[in-house]
A and B are shown apart, each in its own frame.
Chain A
């Protein structure tokens, strides 16, 4: 455990905070990590093999546990007690998922670990929309390699060379578990449409890995993993960081302000203890913000001073801007061909074993939208839940043996197709400080503004059309009342829980808040190492890239520190 004086304060303990703590402590720096939520021990707290019958309401979701009782999320969800946020009048809906626990969202995330591709870093150069990153794929590639080897990622396959869908070099990935029955089934429809289906990259240890347990191919990853066979900051990053003796973690510490010294450098942060309501200021030679895009922006915007009357690093008005999420769509179908399949264990490795990367890069003009989506496909004979009755048609009324037979027959015959697509940043999507609303401790809260662009709603319409075509090819029946209007089929802002981009990186202080290493232009010893720094929101789920960027930035910061530059 490190003691004062600290070299670094890290705000947040999720993907960005966990990875920066991992690297900075291993580099010999003394780190104080502040986490807004409570301490969390996945070894003791994870409900691994518990069945729904043991849980209140058979595990069904409630406003207290929106993703179901067993979801790992602590004190969180779309609402966090005592910590409101607002959505501006006239805005389209925006919802904000937050946990309050050590390790943040890495405890429950979907474990989909896809690399961004070459085109993803230069979207403006490709089609004149959005903005280019100050780095290329090649700049980040070595950090993707290191990250995959550290966290454990499955999905190894012979190199395919698909456009903008990077193949990891040999040695980075483990093999995925074999396709489940429904994955074998749907692959044939996509193949007939000329669309590739490839192994999913999942942050799950499927083979032998030094110092890690192998997946037991049972129990959902979203509950967390007591044996640490998937990636969570709390099982993979924080224990080795603690083992260096250079890390102190303070939980229940809700940071709301970065404090500056007279020279304009960061001298520390101020937080409120969520349990006691006491306010504390702590100091260090440098500060890393990794509280999640929304919270990181909120801390900066609430850090007002004579030099920064509109919030720290916000002289150009860019903090909170370029807020993005993924485009979400979904249609499910029921398939007669899968009825009565002999029982088979579809638990698998938690993540999907295969998926469909975006295939339309070369025909975007004709498609009427500029960026693509990948398809995440769920199904199989998973552990029954309260939703089981949904597999029989609405107007079906059988009881007794007929009902039992019908359920047996149709169990495992439903497949859901979900699009996760790129959003182009626009001027209508941002967050700012609400002029009046405050949290329980009197700290001003965020107000969100949201509006999907036509590229996104057209993409959503295309996704729905594609899913219906696939369902039809497979002889299936789509769920009733499928919404084909993209403006209505699209997810709410924030709903994909991929909100990123409020403190973006760039080439200079006019076009961005931080440089390519997350170092703020305005305050040289203040760094941002979460998804807030992202410049675009590719279809690929952001966590792996948050980890790789944080590692690259932390490495750069450690070099600075050795040179005495912070």
Chain B
């Protein structure tokens, strides 16, 4: 690092003032700031915590040992089913325009959360049923899980469609 030594004064005595050359320091800081600004990730990333549950194709039968009523959500390309196991009640929420009817879905989940079955429970299972002709995107399933967490079902389980405790018969 360089330092500029002051010039001699008229009296012949050397000045004690030293001027530090900070230009290289500024250069380094400018480059570093520019690099960090360009490469920084400005998107806020969060997470939705899920537990894989239900059966998969390895199993032949849905587990029936659960005595609780389970709230099951099946996301299809053109509708969402909300069902209760054991009671076998299903509500169909058809698509509204290009998108799923998330408002009605949220209202439905709120109603279930307020019911006697789920007032003190927070578990729910979600599945997405996709085919080549009618694909369901990851965004739709994430949206369904996000709404469930928002309503109060914070223990979200993701399962295979065949593994849902309550599955509509079509």
Answer yes or no: do A and B interact. no
